[in-house]
Amino acid sequence: MIAAMPRAAKLAASQAVRDEWLRRVEQEYRSAATTHHLTLWLIQLAVSPDLIRAGLRIAGDEIKHSELSHHTYLAAGGQAGLAMTRESLALRRPEEEPLEHAVTRTTVRVFCLGETVAVPLFKSLRDGCTVPAARKVLDRVLRDEVRHREFGWTLLDWLLRLPLGPALRVIAAHELPAYFGRLRLSYGAMAKNLTAIDPADRAWGLMPPAEYAATVERTLERDWIPRFRTHGIDAKRAWDMSLDVVAGAPPAQVGQRT
Ligand SMILES: [Fe+2]
Ligand SMILES: [Fe+2]
């Protein structure tokens, strides 16, 4: 009979694991703030009560994701605190333009892009994850992200049906290349050669940059092109422009419009 591995050895986590889970704690917390603020904007716009309730529920989900991620961070031996400024946990918008403009930008950037790619990303992360503390988080996040994705596309549909819809479609199409560019850069577009990862790190729910990049590229074909097409927006064209747009823009202007 093979002796059972000591519990401490099974749970041993690298610094990379701790760094990644702390980043997830922050990212989930930031998602809660973003969704809560967006939902206030939806209340101001008097959207349907169903959409408002869906937004509030998502904000609660994101707090739970952050809390669960923090448990995993502690289980991995992490001890650092969060380093987010209070001011960064709010959406900003130009006062001189209609609120619908900012709502459209946030919906496209955070939900139609971020929450949509999150579904296959978390599925891939969960496939290799065997450490119970990490697996529990990924199970919950993956279950919730499908609903978060659908919230975004339902909200975009509502926005584009408004009298302002044609102008909002132009804004969405205009912003899409920069949003794609930022997303691609943060998900491995420049590190596709990094295909390997320590098996222990994968067991803790990490994966190499090349897998992030491949998942993002699959999402273009499976989700973004067909879903944006039904709204009259050419996602393939935006994708083809995306890295050039990001490379040519001052960093402060890219994706910081909402
Ligand atoms: Fe989340
Ligand atoms: Fe989410």
Quote the mean pLDDT of the chain. 91
| pLDDT at residue 89 in the model | 95
Q: Which ligand is nearest to the CA of 119?
A: 2
* pLDDT of 257 higher than 50: no
| pLDDT at residue 233 in the model | 98
Q: Which ligand is nearest to the CA of 147?
A: 2
Report how far ligand 2's centroid is from the alpha carbon of 142 (Å): 9
Q: Which ligand is nearest to the CA of 25?
A: 1
Residue 249 — pLDDT band, cuts 50, 70, 90? Answer: low
Report how far ligand 2's centroid is from the alpha carbon of 204 (Å): 20
* pLDDT of 254 higher than 80: no
Between 95 and 71, name the one with better pLDDT. 71
Give the tokens for residue 209. Answer: 């940059």
Please answer whether residues 39 and 22 qualify as being in contact, where contact means their C-beta atoms are separated by less than 8 angstroms. Answer: no
Report how far ligand 1's centroid is from the alpha carbon of 122 (Å): 10
The pLDDT tens digits for 1-47 are 444 444 444 668 999 999 999 999 999 999 999 999 999 999 999 99
Report how far ligand 2's centroid is from the alpha carbon of 108 (Å): 14
The pLDDT tens digits for 186-207 are 998 888 888 889 999 999 999 9
CA atoms of 58 and 60, how far apart (whole Å): 5
Please answer whether residues 110 and 34 qualify as being in contact, where contact means their C-beta atoms are separated by less than 8 angstroms. Answer: yes
Q: Where are the domains of the chain?
A: 14-253
Superfamily of 14-253 according to CATH: Ferritin, core subunit, four-helix bundle (1.20.1260.10)
Report how far ligand 1's centroid is from the alpha carbon of 110 (Å): 11
| pLDDT at residue 196 in the model | 86
Report how far ligand 1's centroid is from the alpha carbon of 131 (Å): 19
Please answer whether residues 73 and 18 qualify as being in contact, where contact means their C-beta atoms are separated by less than 8 angstroms. Answer: yes
